[in-house]
Amino acid sequence: MCLILRSLLEGPRRFTGISVYVNGLSDRLLSQRLQELEEAGIVERRVYVHRPVIVEYSLTAKGQDLREVVEAIQSWADRWEPIPAAPEEKPV
């Protein structure tokens, strides 16, 4: 959930934008996590009636209040978690 929150700290995003940010999480699981965050009052879901319908997610004031916590966790991860090496290209 921390990556979802981090993506929304940058501003409102649509589902696909969050999905790209949290690469590797299935759409179903992302949808469940967003619903849980919405039920907890951390994320707000807005539906814009257009063609096609646009759904946007943003942090509520309660969610914005988690900024320092999320940034502290990111700082810890940057310090202690190794950055995965980029895959090597095969010679042509």
Report pLDDT digits (tens) over 53-90: 899 999 999 999 999 999 999 899 889 887 666 556 55
CB-CB contact of 73 with 80 (8 Å)? no
Does pTM top 0.75 for this prediction? yes
Instruction: Please check whether residue 47 is in contact with residue 54, taking contact to mean a CB–CB distance below 8 angstroms.
Output: yes
Which CATH number does 2-80 carry? 1.10.10.10
Question: 2 phi and psi, to 5 degrees?
Answer: -60, -40
All structural domains of the chain with their residue ranges = 2-80
Cβ neighbours of 67 (radius 10 Å): 13
> Tens digits of per-residue pLDDT, 6-23?
999 999 999 999 999 998
* pLDDT one-digit tens code per residue, 36-60: 999 999 999 999 988 888 999 999 9
Q: CB 43: neighbour CB atoms within 10 A?
A: 23
